[in-house]
Amino acid sequence: MCTTCGCGGHDALIGGKRPTRSKKEGPISFRAPHSVVPHHHHAPADTVQSRIVQVEKDLLNKNNNLALGNRSYFAAQNMLVLNLVSSPGSGKTTLLVRTLEMLKDKQTIAVIEGDQQTENDAERIRATGIPAIQINTGKGCHLDASMIGHALDQLTLAKGSLLFIENVGNLVCPAAFDLGEAAKVVVLSVTEGEDKPLKYPDMFSAARLMLLNKCDLLPYLTFDVELAIANARRVNPNIEIIQLSATNGAGMDEWLNWISREQATAN
Amino acid sequence: MHEMSLAESVLQIIQDSSAAENFQRVRGVTLEIGKLSAVEPEAMRFCFDAVTRGSIAEGATLEIIETAGAGICLACSASVEMQEKYGLCPHCGSAHLKVTAGDQMRVKDIAVE
């Protein structure tokens, strides 16, 4: 198992099932199976032919190609896909539930939920009437493009749908794995530190939008909003920022307007 | 970050290459890991050993070539050496640095038999 973040393993569950073969991409590939050592006989040392094979392949090449496939599918379906990322406990699911309640009468929406374990989040989403597929990554610390491909096989999506992917709560690993989304949206809550963007710069750099959540709690905290914004812009000068509260609804209109603008651009 | 997934990608690349290049045994693997790529070489070594166990690359030596980080300042146009990904321009202090080298992570070559 990974010493850094505990990722790895071969046991992701998608919609409660082990993925077998995706319609889109052929054999399952997001967890390379350990192949059996081929039976071979070592020739005497002086007759062994040794050579160097030039490879020059990026480690993310496979994921990036699968993400490209997802992205073409989303484009063909006129779908806007947003990848929500944050640390655990930032309020992503509450924010998503509130967002779905405000949007569900206006358009078709679906959700892909990523967590190490449990169906809890997908159940919270389904309670709003929106279809949701839960991916349990097991020991894995992030979603990857292949898991999304498999999840799409289980979702029936109308053209022009809006798809939210709620990534595993983790501010490190999901930054590097393109899922084919239009944008990563990072959620930072005011109960966390203002220096999170500096501590986890890859994620804030990869995101197009930062939602500063739980702003209803500001009167009770010493959180410095301007400092948090300055820190986010230090690692990503172009990041857009919306302050909101999923609990009292402040700023939600601005967030929904941002989604509408992205949908207009995508189409 | 996610070195386990990346080590699995290394193994996948080796297996793909094994089919294309017709080899059954891997003696050594050379990776190029940029200084700005956020891969911890030691974590990568640990994970490489773990994921290659029972595969054609079991016991292979892992060489990691660390490549230097470099960038260009979008504010003053200076070319700068970069020790960290989100540093400030040493000339004008701007945070608008664009990485031009040192963020790659790839399998360079494989020694096979």
Task: Name the average pLDDT for chain B.
Answer: 93
Within 157-176 of A, beta carbons closer than 8 Å to B belong to 172-173, 175-176
Q: Which residues of A touch B34 (CB under 8 A)?
A: none
Tens of pLDDT, residues A155-190: 989 999 999 999 999 999 999 999 999 999 999 999
Least confident of A12-21, A83-92, A151-160: A12-21
Cross-chain CB nearest to A4 (options B12, B43, B112): B43
Q: How far apart are the first and last CA of chain B?
A: 32
B3-112 folds as hypothetical protein PF0899 fold (3.30.2320)
Q: Do A48 and B110 touch (CB under 8 A)?
A: no
Task: Name the average pLDDT for chain A.
Answer: 87
Rounded-to-integer distance, Cα A98 and Cα A248, Å: 10
Give the burial string for A220-256 (b: 16+ CB within 10 Å, else e): eeebeeeebbebbbbbbeebeebbbbbeeeebbeebe
Domains of chain A as residue ranges with CATH: 61-266 (3.40.50.300)
Rounded-to-integer distance, Cα A13 and Cα A28, Å: 13
pLDDT, residue B86, reads: 85
- Residue B27 φ then ψ, to 5°: -95, -35
Residue A25 has pLDDT above 70, yes or no: no
B1 interface with A at CB cutoff 8 Å: yes
Tens of pLDDT, residues A213-256: 999 999 999 999 999 999 999 999 899 999 999 999 999 999 99
Q: Which residues of A touch B112 (CB under 8 A)?
A: 50-53
Cross-chain CB nearest to A37 (options B9, B54, B96): B54
Q: Structural domain boundaries of chain B?
A: 3-112
Residue A13 has pLDDT above 50, yes or no: yes
Rounded-to-integer distance, Cα A13 and Cα A257, Å: 34
Residue B8, CB-side half-sphere exposure with 13 Å CA sphere: 19
pLDDT, residue A44, reads: 52
Nearest to A60 by CA among A145, A139, A3: A145
Contacts with A26 (C-beta within 8 Å, 6 or more apart), sequence order: none
Q: What secondary structure, in 3-state letters, does chain B show?
A: CCHHHHHHHHHHHHHHHHHHHCCCCEEEEEEEEECCCCCCHHHHHHHHHHHHCCCCCCCCEEEEEEECEEEEECCCCCEEEECCCCCCCCCCCCCCEEEEECCCEEEEEEEEC
Tens of pLDDT, residues B42-54: 999 999 999 999 9
Q: Tell me what the mean pLDDT of segment A93-111 comes to.
A: 97
Compute how many other C-beta atoms are within 10 angstroms of the C-beta atom of residue A17.
9
**Gyration radius of chain B's alpha carbons:** 17
Residues B68/B102, Cβ–Cβ less than 8 Å: yes
Residues A204/A186, Cβ–Cβ less than 8 Å: yes
Tell me which DSSP letter residue A30 carries. Answer: S
Q: Do B109 and A55 touch (CB under 8 A)?
A: yes
Q: Do B13 and A140 touch (CB under 8 A)?
A: no
Contacts with A19 (C-beta within 8 Å, 6 or more apart), sequence order: A12, A28, A30, A147, A150
Nearest to A182 by CA among A92, A114, A83: A83
Give the burial string for A89-111 (b: 16+ CB within 10 Å, else e): ebbbbbbbbbbbeebeeeebbbb
Type of residue at B83: Q
Rounded-to-integer distance, Cα B47 and Cα B1, Å: 12
Distances (CA, A) of A77 to A44, A124, A145, A194, A259: 59, 26, 17, 38, 17
Q: What sign for the dihedral angle of Cα A146, A151, A156, A162?
A: negative
Rounded-to-integer distance, Cα A235 and Cα A197, Å: 7
Within 39-58 of B, beta carbons closer than 8 Å to A belong to 40, 42-43, 46-47, 50-51, 53-56, 58
Among chain A residues, CA nearest to B26: A50
Tens of pLDDT, residues A254-267: 999 999 999 998 76
